[in-house]
Chain A
Amino acid sequence: MKPFTYERAKTPAEAAAIVAGRPGAKFIAGGTNLLDLMKLEIETPTHLVDVQDLKLDRIEATREGGLRIGANVTNTALASDDRVRRDYAVLTKAIVAGASGQLRNKASTAGNILQRTRCPYFYDPNQPCNKRKPGSGCAAIGGYSRQLAVIGSSDACIATFPGDMAVALRVLDATVETVNPQGGTRSISMADFHRLPGNTPQFDNTLQRGELLTSVTLPKPIGGQHFYNKVRDRASYAYALVSVAAVIQPDGTGRVAVGGVAHKPWRVEAAEAAMPQGSRAVATRLMAGAKPTADNAFKVPLVERTLGAVMHDAGMKRTAA
């Protein structure tokens, strides 16, 4: 770990201004991801701006009938909130499918969304990695890639976004609110928040330098049955091979987002029109253009089968076309 300085910001705009004005500065909240990366010198901030005093730890109703979740609401608090459990159960299910109780007690909402990939080559500083060190190459391509992306990847990077919570946020059409160093705010849909790696895999998302994530807003509830089916080799404490977040309505229509397959939570709204035709019809459209490796080719049929499991649990008659 490299030496760094540390301060606690008083307001979101102040925090944003400090980070924007100081090369090498980063925000820190729960630290459950950043500190690990700093110990390995994968992240080497010279200055940390702690954003835990910004009073961003509330879950509030919005005028539109939804919920606004402060960036510092812990994963545990969010998952156990009565309104979330009742109206956005997919979110609770996704959160409790991830990490451990101890980590969820410390991890923040914003930090969860901003967590970095778990590609093993990203985590090994001896290996070339375009995400860790732009231009150094990608050791994962041609290497051990069982856990890595099957769709939306590039010749520069096949890393995945590893989280669960953001997959549920994607299926719920959540938006992310930010503040910039000038105090200006903007709202970014979850669809546009994470990005595909392209030639710049060092950028996980579309935030500008110094832009601080302040809250996540859920639109008003959409009803339906909520599912989060996370497929993994062991029953707990593992990243998803594939996960499916779904909200299925009584008429068989619904929404689906998939985790563990791409550099971002993967959702293709056009594919959802095929929900009544079953999992194969949806998965074929959802995963069109997939370019898996030999190690992870199984993920493509696994998406279909996991969606089939969800449809089965939802009591839909047709799960396969």
Chain B
Amino acid sequence: MNFDAPAGPNLIDRMQVVGKPYDRIDGPLKTTGTAPYAYERHDVAPNAAYGHVVGAAIAKGRIVRIDTAEAATAPGVIAIVTAANAGVLGKGDFIDAPALAGPVVTHYHQAVALVVADTFEQARAAGAMVQVDYARAAGRFDLASEKSSATLAPTSPPTMRGDFAGAFAAAPVKIDRIYTTPDQSHMMMEPHATIAEWAGDRLTVWTSVQTIDWGRRDLAKILGMPKDRVRISSPYIGGGFGGKATAMADVVLAALGARAAKRPVKVALARPMMVNGTVHRAATIQRLRIGVANDGRILAIGHETVSGNLPDGMVEPCTIQTPSLYAGENRMTETRLAVLDLPEASSMRAPGEAPGMMALEIAMDELAEALAMDPVELRVRNDAKVHPGDGKRPFSTRALVPALRTGAERFGWSARIPKPAQVRDGRWLVGMGVASAIRGARTRTSGARARLETSGRVVIETDMTDIGTGSYTIIAQTAAEMMGLPLDRIDVRLGESDYPVTVGSVGQRGATSATSGVYAACVKLREAVAQRLGLNAADVGFDGGRVVSGGRRIPLADAASGGPLVGEDEVEFGEELGKAYAQEAFGAHFVEVGVDRFTGEVRLRRMLAVCAAGRILNPKTARSQVIGAMTMGAGAALMEELAIDKRFGFFVNHDLASYEVPVHADMPHMDVVFLDETDATISPMKAKGVGELGLSGVAPAIANAVYNATGVRVRDYPMTLEKHLAKLPRIV
């Protein structure tokens, strides 16, 4: 199925199953601990040996000598993989840093050896016996120091329109500020984990990978083998946030270990190994220059950002939203990349928008104050009719203003006192903040297979993944809607590389893309059913488990009485719609905070997100996505920061005790409102994603609330207490 024109009325519009707040169909498995996550798939390889990763003790340099003799004779040890015996390894398309160091070390905790033994304890104990001598090399570990050498990122070319410099210079009111965001860790609950098994030249990995096809492609390239000899199985994933986008070090090392041990091998990265040993979100330094007329209209807006990475690594594209969000004739963005020798930076939930909005939306708050204008009104005044960056494309939908207005009404925004530090509640200074939300609404080709079994049940197979998002449920809802069946007559099978390829769970595009693939496959299955029953497909309805044609109501199972029927298709998204329309999801975040006027501690009091993201396929799973994102935004605002040892070049706080993420006690009541919307330019489902929209804007709304509470403007995330403590009111 090609999707290159806006969807007309279709079967999904019936909304008999789609759009209903069904519980997750995989929920009981997860709450009873019976969903098979990668490391616990004891059934697939009962004789698996255990691989323990020995991580590099330096950030940059060379291995001078590695002595595995003692470890090799330790109890239970079967094999030790090092660069010396692993053979030549290639490189995948998504991750640059090699999984295995030697002789060159490119980052701290890069694997220097994998010790394989009969038991986990034996492997770990022997791992400690591997002796490594290093020659440490000087490295570049400080973004601020390397900023001046940064070059334009080829993947995020500069944008400009009009005369930014002239308009900014002439603007009557303006701000010119630097904002910084820190390195962040994905810290998904399930660590990276893989069981690998070879059968001849065929490799199977049971693992935790968000995009199966990327994992398969990259693993095949790294191991130098044909992609079709790699099988990946990832039916359940305990969170990813981009940190498991493709096959990471655990997958590569498990495959190498299994080859060396001639036995299935399982590898999990211990939590302290995940932070430096895999990827993270890069720190950024961002400059915002915005000039406005006295009535608040933006005359000039410039956004520049720099982040660091390994030479071929990706940039954190923080300017990505700026051409789309606010109006203004004169504008520019620049995205630069500096070379750093820290561990590799990669995608983390809403790459670009999440840290980009952390800067842009404080800048808007500063402008509102400079103008003595309400921050909601300033944003409303700069709403755009067409894409501001190109001045031409209409938005497919753009509900920014309704989101802001709805949120202001629901949150009681009118009670906010613009002058900061005016509201007290016992020891607390209380403040309110707002930020817009925006995240690109993209899609990518996705397929599915729909099979009507002789039992009358419909099985859906796709390599889409469920990383805790609700994919199982919304895919079942789509199939149920299309086939006129109740939800419990649908079986969904995900995450197998043998199944039709989808985009996977990345970039907030999985839900609409993968369900559209299911839509396409079900169209094919409906045709096959009609044909089998000797009916004209165009005249056939599917309702209540029956095929309805004229006056006849034939049980759907009858169509499969002679054997299962299969419909398989993929939805291919043309480029036309993205060229004709600016496609973004919009929203608004409102937050109330308390700041302890003695200790400076910030605690959240209330949060509200208003999201306009096309059709909401399941309000319950969508809400869960958004409150999870709001929680992640709270972490970004208040506590999450990978602390760099700039002498030795590694993230020091590499465990969950020292890299703090929000706990239940941090999260207040959270409200989520979805605005009624469909976007026919996105997909047959007319849906966009919400999982990243829910994050983009949370942290700056919190930052703005903190400012409203204290009157101390902090432009350096996270907003930990020492950044405003000295400027808080004297304690009397």
A interface residues (Cβ-Cβ under 8 A, vs B): 1-3, 39-41, 118, 120-121, 123-124, 126-127, 139, 142-144, 146-147, 229, 231-239, 241, 279, 298, 301-302, 304-306, 308-309, 312-313, 319-320
Evaluate contact between B731 and A319: CB separation under 8 angstroms: yes
A259 to B695, CA, bound (A): 35
- CB contacts (< 8 Å) of B720 on chain A: these are 233
Give the shortest distance, in Å, between A153 (CB) and chain B (any CB).
Answer: 18
A126 to B110, CA, bound (A): 13
Can you list the 3 inter-chain pairs with the closest CB atoms, starting with the nearest? A298-B722, A309-B598, A126-B57
Evaluate contact between B665 and A236: CB separation under 8 angstroms: yes
A142 to B721, CA, bound (A): 22
Evaluate contact between A147 and B658: CB separation under 8 angstroms: yes
Evaluate contact between B725 and A301: CB separation under 8 angstroms: yes
Evaluate contact between B732 and A320: CB separation under 8 angstroms: yes
A305 to B215, CA, bound (A): 52
B-side interface mostly: loop
Q: List 30 A-B contacts (CB under 8 A).
A: A3-B125, A41-B128, A118-B658, A120-B654, A123-B272, A124-B272, A126-B55, A143-B647, A231-B599, A231-B601, A231-B721, A232-B601, A233-B720, A234-B666, A235-B603, A236-B664, A236-B666, A237-B665, A238-B660, A241-B721, A298-B722, A298-B725, A302-B721, A305-B599, A305-B728, A308-B598, A309-B596, A312-B731, A319-B731, A320-B731
- The residue in chain A whose Cβ has the minimal distance to the Cβ of B638 is A233
B interface residues (Cβ-Cβ under 8 A, vs A): 55, 57, 121, 124-125, 128, 272, 427, 596, 598-601, 603, 638-639, 643-645, 647-648, 652-655, 657-658, 660-666, 718, 720-722, 725-726, 728, 730-732
Evaluate contact between A120 and B128: CB separation under 8 angstroms: no
- CB contacts (< 8 Å) of A142 on chain B: these are 647
A120 to B645, CA, bound (A): 11
A320 to B597, CA, bound (A): 13
Give the shortest distance, in Å, between B607 (CB) and chain A (any CB).
Answer: 14
Apart from A143-B652, A298-B726, list 17 A-B contacts with CB within 8 A.
A1-B124, A1-B125, A121-B652, A126-B55, A126-B57, A233-B601, A234-B638, A234-B639, A234-B660, A235-B666, A298-B721, A302-B599, A305-B600, A306-B598, A309-B427, A309-B599, A320-B730
Q: Which of B638, B662, B664, B731 contacts A308 (CB 8 A)?
A: B731
Give the shortest distance, in Å, between A295 (CB) and chain B (any CB).
Answer: 9
A237 to B639, CA, bound (A): 13
Evaluate contact between B643 and A146: CB separation under 8 angstroms: yes
A95 to B125, CA, bound (A): 34
Give the shortest distance, in Å, between B338 (CB) and chain A (any CB).
Answer: 21
- CB contacts (< 8 Å) of B660 on chain A: these are 233-234, 238
Give the shortest distance, in Å, between B675 (CB) and chain A (any CB).
Answer: 31
A238 to B658, CA, bound (A): 8
Evaluate contact between B645 and A144: CB separation under 8 angstroms: yes
Evaluate contact between A144 and B731: CB separation under 8 angstroms: no
Evaluate contact between A143 and B731: CB separation under 8 angstroms: no
Evaluate contact between B648 and A139: CB separation under 8 angstroms: yes
- The residue in chain B whose Cβ has the minimal distance to the Cβ of A118 is B657
A139 to B648, CA, bound (A): 9
Known: A234-B666, A237-B663. A305 touches B598 (CB 8 A): yes
Known: A1-B124, A118-B658, A144-B645. A234 touches B725 (CB 8 A): no
- The residue in chain B whose Cβ has the minimal distance to the Cβ of A296 is B722
Give the shortest distance, in Å, between B462 (CB) and chain A (any CB).
Answer: 38
A312 to B730, CA, bound (A): 13
A232 to B665, CA, bound (A): 12
